[in-house]
Every structure is written in structure tokens, then in C-alpha cells.
């Protein structure tokens, strides 16, 4: 249906004269979003070059040069690097979690030819435009393999369960990263003391809100809960909150009243019932909050 | 105001451009150190622009954080040939700062942004640049040479985040006059800054 407000057959619903009239406002970003969209649509489809956009737009970056220079606080760098490190850690864990079953498929599946455009070996230089695409393509390969397994009638339930668990964990990690991205937030990577076992990430915001996302936890049974503890130097562990875990092995807790202090130890124990005032056993996973680049690796 | 006779000269690649691009390639390979390098190189410029627009230290920090994390997550979306990495990054800072002040004013209905580069950077055009070859004094002198109303229109648009309609309302000026002031102001600066 033709929009009666717009000239028929004109790219973006605007005439070339109208677009020229909006050029300066466009390059300065001084149009409403619908107007910006209309100009973009016109430029994308119009046969005229509209060089006025290049001529006027070339000046715009120079305006930034006139800005009085100010140094950002040093903590900003630490915060950015901490969030980026947590982001990377979550991505790697999620990738490993989902891709892992594909690497252990029966030979009949793993020898399937890779889809066209499959990623180059990691050791080769990666063009910048394709570097990020490696991940989606890997996912495509993983999904194809998953479908093959479904057809084979094998592994389906366990693999589907792992996929669901990974998706659940990803959502929980995203929630933690939201908290971690707030100004003044601290992050902690929780891992099993033995090196293998439950692990996850935590964030504590400057107003004392804490979120922890965990995976690889053994399911709780009966009244059992996982209890999170905060431990300040020279103080006894204080309970933060508890949660139960299902068969997917992931757990999430959000609680308030946690001091946003670097060096705060966060620990997770498995308890026989809710409401414990002191840990009844050793922690299954432990981490220390940091706001520095220590977590950036 | 006479219009200049030819287009601004295309920029030539500089050592800094190459280093920036190398850093972006490393970021695309998830190297945290490269993000640190890029931050160290442009933190002052990015923060200064964000503060100039928001006039709020906390908001400016948030803008810079969002911008660098946007680069961290979207390095592969950078398209060579549509401006230097520096211009791309600072454009993200600018757009996010404008979004922040517009949300604070709540006078413009804004869509939620994801971590993608700002729309202007996805345009099928080739934006020339002059910023890398200029120093602040030259640009300030060019700005100072504009008429007060031209400079006001440019600043309200670019650093104030006002739309042309809002500028017209705020200054009590007809919309057509506002458009004309912005266009003539940009053309005057272009002429003064061209070699």
C-alpha cells in the first residue's frame, strides 16, 4: 500500500530535493529517527550520488577535535576491562559447553563434510570481517550435527538436556553481566577448589546487589540447598541466600546487602536444609571479587 | 557564502590507522590486551566528547564504557573504507552520548540500541574525514569564525543532541532558517579547514 504522505516511487518516500534539504541536519544527527530512516532509505536506493552528504559529512568529525580534553578516572579502564573479561569468559564457557558434544560424536557424524564457508583453522590469520563469523558458523555446524543425532535416534535426550542447560546458563550469565556493567560493580569468577567441578561468575553492584550464575552443580534433593556465603577478611562466613538445583546443573541467585569491596570472598556450599547460619561442609566453589584488571588475564 | 570548488582530499592511511586496525583485528580475535591498547589511545578523546555532550561525569563514564564494550563485541562489524577506526569509535561515543542526553530529556522517542555500530556508520556512503589532519586550534578558529547563530545551530545539533525542529523551537527560529544555518556553517568550516 502506498503511503499517501509520501511521493510515489521516490526512494525512502522523499524526493531528491527534500533529501538535499535535510543533508546538513542528517550528518549532524539532528533529525528524528523516522526522518533519519527515510533519508537512509533514499540514499540506499537513489541513483543520484548526493555528494552533498559527503561534502557536509566530512566536516562533522572535525567538530570533535575542538572539544576541551578531559582525562577519565582511572577506575573506568578497570571497569571496562573487567566487564570485557567476564564477557569473554562467559562466551568461551558457553561455546565450550555447546560445542563439546559435537566433538565427541560417533565417527559417522563427525566425518560429515563441513558446511560451505566453514571457518579456517585457528592458526591461520583471520580476516577481520570473518573473525567473528567463526562462532556462528561453528554453531551452524553444531546444529547440523545435532540434527543428525536426532535422526540417528541416539544421544538425543542427553544432548538436548545439555543444550537447554547451556541456554539457561547463558541467560543467567547475561543477567550477571548486566550487573557487572554498572559503574562501580565488582566481578568474581567462582571455581571448584579442586579445579574441576561447579563454576560460574558473580557480580556485586555498588549498591550491594549480588548476582551469581553457576553451572555443573549436582542436583539438590529433598530439603537440600546450595547456600552462598560472603566472607570478609577476619570474619566468619555470612549467609547470603540459597537456591535449589535441578537436573540441568545450573543455579542462579540474586541477593542484596553484599558489600561492594574488592577482596570479598564468595563461596558456595551444599547444605542439608535452608537457613543454615554457618557452613556445614567445605565449599564446592569459591571466588574473590575484583574491580581491577586482575581478572582480565 | 561561496561553496568550495572540490571535495575534501581523501585521507591517506597513517601509522596510527594501521595500529588501530591491527588492534581491531586482535579484538576480533578476543584479545583483551588489544582492547586495552585501543582504550589507552582514545580514552581522553572519548571521555572528552562524552562529557562535552552529557555534561555529567557519571553519564560520560557510562557512555565511554558502553562504547568500548560495543567495539569489543562488534569489532568484526567495522567496515574498512567507511572511515578510520578512530572515527568509528568516536562516532559510537558520540551517538551513545546523544542517546543518553535525549533519554534524560525524554523528549524524543528513541529505539533501544544494541551493541551494533550507530546507523550512520552503516550508511552506503563514503564519509571523508579531516579530523586526523587537524589540530584543535584550527578547528576552534574555524568555529569561532562562524556567525553566532550558525555556531549555535551546529552546537545545539551536534553536542546538544537537539533535532532541527527542537532547535527551531528553542531559538524561536523558522525551521528553514535553522537548516540553512547548519548547512552554511558546515560549508564555511569545510572551506576553512580544506588545505
Q: What is the CATH number of the domain that holds A184?
A: 2.60.40
Calculate the CA A132 to chain-centre distance: 14
Of B72, B97, B123, the residue that ends a domain is B123
The pLDDT tens digits of the residues spanning B133-166 come to 577 888 899 999 999 999 999 999 999 999 999 9
Of B88, B123, B158, the residue that ends a domain is B123
| Residue A30 to residue B167, Cβ atoms within 8 A | yes
Mean per-residue pLDDT, A139-149: 41
| Residue B161 to residue A77, Cβ atoms within 8 A | no
Nearest CA in chain A to B40: A77
The pLDDT tens digits of the residues spanning A24-67 come to 999 999 999 899 999 988 888 888 888 888 888 888 888 988 89
- Same structural domain for residues B66 and B87? yes
User: Cβ atoms within 10 A of the Cβ of A65, count?
Assistant: 23
Domain containing A138 equals 75-171
| pLDDT averaged over 10-residue windows placed end to end, chain B, 195 residues | 40 66 90 94 95 94 94 81 78 91 67 42 37 74 94 95 95 96 94 81
Chain A contact present for B87, CB below 8 A: yes
Chain B contact present for A124, CB below 8 A: no
ipTM above 0.90, yes or no: no
Answer yes or no: is A3 within a domain. no
Nearest CA in chain A to B107: A32
Nearest-10 Cα torsion for B165, B161, A41, A56: 90
Which CATH number fits the domain that encloses residue B163? 1.10.10.10
For residue B80, the model assigns a pLDDT of 64
Domain containing B62 equals 13-123
Task: With CA atoms as reference, report the closest residue to A185 among A258, A241, A235.
Answer: A258
Higher-pLDDT residue of B169 and A114 is B169
| Residue A30 to residue B73, Cβ atoms within 8 A | no
Length of chain B: 195
Does position A122 have pLDDT exceeding 50, yes or no?
A: no
| Chains A & B: contacts with CB separation below 8 Å | 216
Q: Is the dihedral of CA A86, A89, A95, A101 positive or negative?
A: negative
Nearest CA in chain A to B67: A80
Nearest CA in chain B to A86: B32
Residues 147-206 of A with CB under 8 A from B: 181, 183
Chain B partners within 8 Å of A128 (Cβ): 21, 24-25, 28, 75-76, 78, 80
Does position A75 have pLDDT exceeding 70, yes or no?
A: yes
Chain B contact present for A81, CB below 8 A: yes
SS3 of chain B: helix, strand, coil, percent, to 5: 70, 0, 30
Answer yes or no: is A225 within a domain. yes
Nearest CB among B65, B79, B98 relative to A29 is that of B98
Of A171, A201, A233, the residue that ends a domain is A171
- Same structural domain for residues A61 and A91? no
Chain A contact present for B30, CB below 8 A: yes
Contact indicator for A81, B35 with CB cutoff of 8 Å: yes
Amino acid at each position: 500500500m502506498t503511503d499517501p504522505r509520501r511521493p510515489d516511487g521516490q526512494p525512502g518516500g522523499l524526493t531528491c530535493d527534500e533529501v538535499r534539504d535535510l543533508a546538513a541536519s542528517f550528518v549532524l544527527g539532528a533529525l528524528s529517527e523516522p526522518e533519519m530512516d527515510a533519508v537512509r532509505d533514499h540514499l540506499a536506493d537513489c541513483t543520484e550520488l548526493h555528494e552533498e552528504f559527503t561534502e557536509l559529512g566530512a566536516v562533522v568529525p572535525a567538530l570533535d577535535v575542538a572539544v576541551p580534553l578531559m582525562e577519565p578516572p582511572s577506575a573506568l579502564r578497570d571497569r571496562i576491562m573487567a566487564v570485557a573479561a567476564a564477557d569473554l569468559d562467559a562466551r568461551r564457557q558457553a561455546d565450550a559447553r555447546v560445542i563439546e558434544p559435537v566433538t565427541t560424536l560417533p565417527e559417522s557424524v563427525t566425518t560429515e563434510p563441513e558446511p560451505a564457508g566453514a571457518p579456517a583453522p585457528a592458526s591461520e590469520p583471520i580476516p577481520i570481517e570473518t573473525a567473528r563469523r567463526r562462532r556462528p558458523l561453528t554453531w551452524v555446524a553444531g546444529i547440523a550435527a545435532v540434527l543428525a543425532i536426532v535422526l540417528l535416534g541416539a544421544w538425543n535426550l542427553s544432548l538436548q538436556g545439555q543444550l537447554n542447560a547451556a541456554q539457561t546458563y547463558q541467560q543467567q550469565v547475561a543477567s550477571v553481566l548486566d550487573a557487572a556493567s554498572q559503574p562501580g560493580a565488582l566481578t568474581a569468577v567462582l571455581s571448584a577448589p579442586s579445579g574441576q567441578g561447579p563454576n560460574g561468575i558473580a557480580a556485586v553492584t555498588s549498591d550491594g546487589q549480588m548476582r551469581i550464575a553457576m553451572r555443573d552443580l549436582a542436583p539438590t534433593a529433598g530439603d537440600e540447598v546450595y547456600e552462598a556465603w560472603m566472607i570478609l577478611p577476619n570474619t566468619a562466613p555470612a549467609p547470603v541466600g540459597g537456591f535449589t538445583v535441578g537436573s540441568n546443573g545450573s543455579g542462579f541467585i540474586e541477593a542484596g546487602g553484599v558489600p561492594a569491596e574488592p577482596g570479598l570472598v564468595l563461596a558456595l556450599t551444599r547444605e542439608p536444609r535452608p537457613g543454615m547460619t554457618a557452613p556445614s561442609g567445605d565449599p564446592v566453589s569459591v571466588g574473590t571479587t575484583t574491580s581491577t584488571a586482575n581478572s582480565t588475564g | 557564502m561561496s561553496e568550495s570548488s572540490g571535495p575534501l582530499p581523501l585521507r591517506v592511511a597513517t601509522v596510527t590507522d594501521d595500529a588501530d586496525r591491527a588492534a581491531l583485528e586482535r579484538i576480533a580475535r578476543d584479545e583483551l590486551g588489544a582492547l586495552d591498547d585501543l582504550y589507552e589511545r582514545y580514552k581522553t578523546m572519548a571521555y572528552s566528547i562524552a562529557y562535552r555532550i552529557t555534561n555529567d561525569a557519571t553519564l560520560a563514564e557510562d557512555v565511554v564504557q558502553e562504547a568500548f564494550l560495543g567495539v569489543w563485541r562488534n569489532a568484526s562489524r567495522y567496515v574498512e573504507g567507511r572511515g578510520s577506526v578512530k572515527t568509528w569509535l568516536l562516532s559510537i561515543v558520540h551517538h551513545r552520548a546523544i542517546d543518553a542526553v535525549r533519554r534524560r530529556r525524554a523528549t524524543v522517542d528513541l529505539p533501544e540500541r544494541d551493541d551494533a555500530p550507530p546507523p550512520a556508520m552503516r550508511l552506503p556512503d563514503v564519509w571523508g574525514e579531516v579530523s586526523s589532519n587537524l589540530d584543535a586550534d584550527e578547528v576552534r578558529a574555524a568555529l569561532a569564525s562562524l556567525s553566532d547563530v550558525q555556531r549555535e545551530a551546529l552546537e545545539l545539533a551536534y553536542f546538544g543532541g537537539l533535532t532541527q525542529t527542537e532547535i527551531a523551537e528553542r531559538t524561536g527560529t523558522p525551521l528553514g532558517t535553522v537548516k540553512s544555518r547548519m548547512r552554511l556553517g558546515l560549508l564555511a568550516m569545510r572551506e576553512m579547514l580544506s588545505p
